[in-house]
Structure 1
């Protein structure tokens, strides 16, 4: 797939999937009306939402540059994406969407968004387990299995691990 095609497809999918899950639904649930509460909670929520948005955009760019495709199941990448945030955790974009929703919940002091973030995580975890992992295994074989063994699914590793005897 050409990069320009991958970029256009990724942008469309960004609006259609995370845009709805982390933008439209939170707005529908809250109209982005804020509750009253302590500013440190709100500040932490804002930072969490910004971090989620940054990781999400990084992931979409990575799919275009490294994978030559999109995150959309209908237009998958040609190559397995393992660089950037994907070197630390296998599902950074899903974690980013959950962080974005949870961050909005804290920023707006709206518990309904924290409950929604938990529901989103459960949904994507099931999707990963029952659809995405088997699909990646079928498409990329041993390369995916090696990646799966080396990189955790949900809890990002903080530093590169070294094998015994390496300097």
Structure 2
């Protein structure tokens, strides 16, 4: 489906949701307290109704100039609400909702103006695909280990701890009473087991990439040879599966639903915005070899033996 109709549908849903939220603010005190804290609803409404609700409705009708109103307003309000919630500890749910609306509004605004999402612009720096320089297996393993330490430290430690801290400060933690302690303990055990299993899969995948692909998992030093053995024998993206599972595991260990959501949102971003470009690069470099591999091996879940045999015959 073209990007512009999806963007217009998003703005229509946002206009309806915004109007419904304001109705709840004026009629349900609990909603007003959770989303606005001590802010004066009338003062906020004076700007939000025309610049968020009405501008979203105009954008939904196809008036592209409305994007220049709703996008800056939503981003400014999201930043202001985040700052307010961090300083006061109030209106955390309002800050979270506006951050989500800010991200969605930016994406929908870009899609409405350009007719597509230029996801290729995400492929910069370490995410820009380039073949690794020739090196010994030991050198590639050392590079892979360094990359893994940096990325795991950033995406599985620093960012999740920051999210969990914000979740606590904004009052977004889900209440767990004494009766739920067994559930909390089970979550910790499940998170630990999942983290160990996912880390083992990630390590195995990285080792295969370094020793059999003459490269590293990072796109900026990607494998020189197509890797179809090890965990790549069963799925095309074991590293991504491991990373998503690790993020979910860290969320379970921290008791943070926002960290779990962060991991799942990251998986959607990678699958929709990054993976198509990575696979296009593989197709360009390895041609029929990659086409046969992609026909035989699924992206996310191992295929049944019968399905693998049929795919092999058809390719």
Which category of TM-score, normalised to the shorter sequence, fits these structures?
0.7 to 0.9
> Number of matched residues?
161
Greater helix share, 1 or 2? 2
**Matches of residues 12-31 of structure 1 in structure 2 within 5 Å?**
12-30=146-164
Bigger mean CA deviation after superposition, 37-46 or 49-58: 37-46
Task: Note if 1:75 corresponds to 2:221.
Answer: yes
Bigger mean CA deviation after superposition, 12-21 or 88-97: 12-21
Q: Which one has the largest radius of gyration?
A: 2
1:62 Cα shift? 0.6
Aligned to 1:122: 268
SS of the residue corresponding to residue 287 of structure 2 reads: helix
Bigger mean CA deviation after superposition, 66-75 or 53-62: 66-75
1:160 Cα shift? 4.4
Task: Note if 1:3 corresponds to 2:150.
Answer: no
So what's the TM-score if we normalise by structure 1?
0.86
How far apart, in 2, do the equivalents of 1:70 and 1:143 lie? 20
Aligned to 1:87: 233
Q: What 5-or-longer segments of structure 1 have no aligned partner? A: none
Aligned to 1:110: 256
Give 4+ residue runs of structure 1 displaced > 3 Å after superposition.
33-37, 159-164
Q: What 5-or-longer segments of structure 2 have no aligned partner? A: 1-133, 311-315
Bigger mean CA deviation after superposition, 105-114 or 13-22: 13-22
1:40 Cα shift? 2.0
The structure showing larger relative contact order (alpha-carbon pairs under 8 Å, at least 6 residues apart) is 1
Cα-to-partner distance string for 1:108-138 (whole Å, 9 max, x where unaligned):
2210111101111012112012x20111011
